[in-house]
Chains A and B, each alone.
Chain A
Amino acid sequence: METTLPAPPHIQGPSSKEKKYDRQLRLWAASGQASLEDAHVLLVQAGPSAVGIEALKNLILPGVGQYTIVDPCEVMEEDAGVNFFVEEDCVGQPRAKVSCEMLQELNPDVKGRYIAQPVEALLRDPEFLSPYTLILLVSPISSLALKTIATYAWEQHVPLFHIHSLGFYSHFTVCLPPSFPVVETHPDPTTTTDLRLTNPWPELSALAKEKTDGLERMNDHDHGHVPCVLLLLHYLEAWKQKNDGRVPATYREKQDFRKAVERGARIYNAEGGEENYEEAAKAVLKSLNPTTLSRHLREIFQAKECTTLTKDSPRFWVIASAIKTFESRHHVLPLPGSVPDMKAKSADYIRLQNVYKAKARRDAAEVLATVRAQEQALGRTDNPISEAEVENFCKEAAFVRLFRGEPLQVVSIDGNGNPIVGHEEPGSECSDGLKSIRLALEDTESLMPLYITFLAYDVFTNRDVPLDSDPAGASTLLHPAPGHADSSVHGDEHKLLRIALSILSHWYTGDSSEIGSRISDFVREIVRFGGGDLHNISALTGGMVAQEAIKVITRQYVPADNTVVFDGIRSKVWVFRRTAGMFRRR
């Protein structure tokens, strides 16, 4: 068996960039870092919250390429109480400028810009949003700007975050593009190895036969070093001969099989047992399951993009389609090829590892051939997909995920100032979304009532003004926050609750008194904050937003799909899927 040896060592330590970013490169590698450095993040804010600045901080430190801050406000003294990136001596200066410069100090590799104007005015230029690859919108924001930016982001496939941070509470919705696949999801390696014990290929069976030949006659040292994977294959062979060629399938059969393995162990040796047999027995329950396709992968295989490739199909779909072909031919996915560590002699383990690696390479080569044939058929041979990308996809295939973004809908208000949201119509497309909302509302642990309160907050603070009304600043587009003055607390509680209950009545038709009382508590707490920000909560939320932004930018790990609500009193997060159907006018 041939092994590729690493090139002789070049005694050059890590580069200065590798040193600086060492702790994060261990998570998302050079490929993730390159994506991060290509990104240009736009932050749009006009209110008091520092949540967007905090999120930027956590993107600038790991080296995002560029950021731009749009903020029409001047620094006020109260900003210094919630925002670490302004100073009291800067009162009166543009806040966008002050924060931009202070953030810039964090990392000289990053390019920062600012525009100290209302975003509503900037949006009149249709090209204004085109440089940005990810957009953060911080509430309060006029529904006008929100609608315009959300429409652009949806049409141009730019990921958009809509963020609230109010007192002890926060929320954000991630609007991903209509199709957002993630290949490198980083599943837990201990639960995800695919060893093919129940359906070994000839080379693996041959190795097992060779290495377990004369097992009973081996000396103690050899017997105690047969790799557990080969032991399992050996005992499975014996089991199959006794059971019409079947492998242990039921829990009971697996228990019996495990006992059969355990009986093979030598216990009268010097160690009083054998580690390789212990490993084999331990692996029985989880390694003998037939490999099945995940729900996510089935969805990918059935997707329209996978069944009808075009000349312009994204590379993801061309490879996914080739893997689908592989799967329908062999009824298994391409072998990932990794083998966990196990008690064994070095040479035996390396041989076993090479048998898995060789099979993985063969499987990937077959997928690659299908990809090449597709490229030929589609007339896209001028820009072929790299072999490395196909191999990587094959390795990750079982855990690939596809996310379907939803456009960000805004709660509108009718002539009487009442919110207009979707409501369930049996059999309609939004029915599923509303069903899950209803279940969430009945779950007393869920933060859905808090989410409704945030929606009501947006209705409360927004005046619907057309874009061409020449806004002098965001303030003319927004009502003061509920509870902004001590004298307004009582009246604002009443008004905010009325809006929230109105939204609830659209989404929940049963007896809603218990849900209503939970909403009422959230309303009182939100009015108590008076539109104010607590730095701890905006810093925490900025951290969560940055984590999600990094996942979206690097296309690694699994992003939240698609709405995250945080309760800083109980220290709990609630994630649910917000659908356009929840907001569609009827």
Chain B
Amino acid sequence: MPSLERSRKRWRHLDNVLGRTGPFTDETFVPGLETIQALERNKILFAPLLSRDCLSPNVWKNTIDVSNLNRQFLFREADIGKPKAVVAANFVKKRVGGVKITPYYGAIQDKDEDYYMQFQQVICGLDSIEARRWINATLVNMVDPDNIESLKPLIDGGTEGFKGQSRVILPTLSSCIECQLDMHAPRAAVPLCTLATIPRQPEHCIEWANVIAWEEERKGDTLDTDDPEHITWLYQKALKRAMDFNISGVTYSLTQGVVKNIIPAIASTNAIIAASCCNEAFKIATNTNPYLSNYMMYSGDDSVYTYTFEHERKADCPVCGNLIKDLWVDGSWTLSEFIEWMKEQPDTQGLKRPSLSKSGKSLYIQVSGLEEQTRPNLDKKLSELVSEGEEVVVSDQALPVDLRFNFIFKK
């Protein structure tokens, strides 16, 4: 086992920064041993900063694919098929003695608050927006104003081609991922009628094969976008359709890109964003210099450009805002009519199996056992179930947090 002196010798460069005050350091910075020890005690959760491929929220349940090798420096050819978290952890431990890394290969949603409480910071490079929203909401909900330890800075990074962004989120104190959702508007979907009757682009033919032809011709099969046979089938279907409409440009690669929603990714951009996130984590952990407040956009396709700014918190953010929304409803609606109506409202669209309750009392809960008990409420009028101004909580798997509403009856 190396002596302390020996193990610090390798950190000579780092110790200059940890041991000396600079012109921009905060007054509370204590140069020297105390900061060094604080850094050594730091425990950080890395949600896969290395993976950029998979769109399921189960990002940690991810194994190494050959297309990872062009940008992920912790993986080798021999590792193909192994869990990313395990291979990455073993490799880093080998290179950097003294670092403790515990790989966790599974869905982030399976872990509870106690699991997240053990870390000082969370760094995340999740590629699915659902997973980001989930971890963001979890960290916001964890904040207990009486316990400073419960506030875990969240550092998030993402890339696309030569571009990327990194952001620092202090849950409940600064703008959160949910406040910033409009920064990442999803691409508009092609209308179904275009796919079905008037395709014009190769992408329309591929989407047709993906959405319509598969449903019609291979109904029983679950489409696996990693199965080359499935992709080849879609490619041939799309190509045939493209020829029928005189459309050119359907290729295997484009088929794969559209069906898997592939985002171009390169090692250099990942390095920039991952290092930027770690740089912010380091500054937060050591106080050696002020950290990013709170958003950096990086763009490398047209010269090099950064836009660094403070994204404002939204007072009505459903996750970190503390406002209860007023909801105007018709007291004569039944609970089931109300649920259908809610599914079409902008704030609550896409609800799957919503559960409703008021001040600790269940109105309708979609959990087996409770569902049967509360089902009779579905036919009752809202005015029988809730009184004017009463707070109702709506929860659903599609929502990152519970929504709270004040019911106000339309006259």
Contact = CB atoms under 8 A, between A and B. Distances in A.
Interface of A: 3-6, 9, 11, 13-14, 16, 18-27, 48, 54, 57-58, 61-63, 77-82, 84, 87-88, 105-108, 167-168, 185-186, 225, 341-347, 349-350, 483, 486, 489, 520-521, 524-525, 528-530, 532-537, 539-540, 542-544, 546-548, 550, 557-561, 564, 568-573, 575
Given A11-B232, A27-B162, A21 B70 contact: yes
A7 B23 CA distance: 66
16 contacts: A9-B235, A14-B256, A25-B253, A61-B267, A62-B266, A62-B267, A77-B9, A186-B301, A342-B200, A483-B20, A534-B13, A536-B278, A543-B272, A570-B290, A571-B306, A573-B298
B257 to A, nearest CB: 7
Contacts of B268: 58, 542-544, 546-547, 550
Contacts of B162: 27, 547, 557
A57 B271 contact: yes
Contacts of A4: 248
B374 interface: no
A448 B331 CA distance: 66
B71 interface: yes
B228 A344 contact: no
A165 B176 CA distance: 32
Contacts of A346: 198-200, 245-247
B332 to A, nearest CB: 29
Nearest to B69: A20
B112 interface: no
B201 interface: yes
B376 interface: no
B17 interface: yes
A355 B26 CA distance: 65
Nearest to A186: B301
A528 B16 contact: yes
Contacts of B266: 23-24, 27, 58, 62, 547, 550
Interface in B301-359: 301-306, 308
B86 interface: no
Contacts of A570: 290, 292, 308
B70 A3 contact: no
A79 B9 CA distance: 10
A77 B266 CA distance: 31
Given A168-B289, A346-B245, A559-B303, 6 more contacts: A19-B66, A54-B271, A58-B271, A63-B70, A489-B20, A536-B279
B257 A26 contact: yes
A185 B162 CA distance: 13
A105 B252 CA distance: 30
A78 B275 contact: no
Contacts of A48: 13
B271 A546 contact: yes
Contacts of B76: 105-106
Contacts of B292: 570-571
A528 B22 contact: yes
A410 B14 CA distance: 29
A8 B331 CA distance: 63
Contact of B243 (A6, A80, A524): A6
B382 interface: no
B300 interface: yes
A433 B26 CA distance: 37
Contact of A529 (B16, B23, B275): B16
A557 B301 CA distance: 6
Given A9-B235, A24-B264, A543 B275 contact: yes
Contact of A78 (B9, B269, B271): B9
A61 B23 contact: no
A27 B161 contact: yes
Interface string B25-52: 0000000000000000000000000001
4 closest A-B pairs by beta carbon, nearest first, are A532-B13, A543-B271, A543-B272, A540-B275
A102 B96 CA distance: 14
A575 B278 CA distance: 23
B242 to A, nearest CB: 8
Contacts of B14: 81-82, 532, 534
Contacts of A350: 200, 245-247
Contacts of B71: 23-24, 61-62
Contacts of B276: 536, 540, 571
Contacts of A520: 23
A156 B328 CA distance: 75
B17 A77 contact: no
B257 A108 contact: no
A575 B301 contact: no
Contact of B77 (A5, A108, A168, A537): A108
A573 B306 contact: yes
Given A61-B267, A533-B13, A571-B280, A24 B70 contact: yes
Most chain A beta-carbon contacts within 10 A, residue among B253, B257, B272, B278: B272
Nearest to B278: A536
Contacts, number: 258
Contact of A3 (B248, B264, B296): B248
B264 A26 contact: yes
Contacts of A537: 275, 279
A24 B95 CA distance: 27
B20 A23 contact: no
Contact of B22 (A26, A106, A524, A533): A524
B12 interface: yes
A24 to B, nearest CB: 5
A26 B20 CA distance: 46
B212 to A, nearest CB: 15
A79 B149 CA distance: 34
Contacts of A54: 271
B73 interface: yes
B67 interface: yes
A349 B199 CA distance: 9
B13 A528 contact: no
A322 B274 CA distance: 46
B239 to A, nearest CB: 5
A525 B23 contact: yes
A564 B198 contact: no
A11 B229 CA distance: 10
A113 B261 CA distance: 38
B246 A81 contact: no
A546 B305 contact: no
A166 to B, nearest CB: 10
A547 B20 contact: no
Given A350-B200, A532-B14, A27 B264 contact: yes
B116 interface: no
A78 B264 contact: no
B91 to A, nearest CB: 10
Contacts of B279: 168, 534, 536-537, 540, 568, 571
A532 B270 CA distance: 24
A560 B304 contact: yes
B12 A532 contact: yes
B20 A82 contact: no
Contact of A544 (B10, B66, B304): B304
A127 B23 CA distance: 47
A345 B231 CA distance: 28
Contacts of B303: 558-561, 575
B24 interface: yes
Contacts of B275: 535-537, 539-540, 543
A9 B271 contact: no
A90 B13 CA distance: 19
A206 to B, nearest CB: 20
B13 A88 contact: no
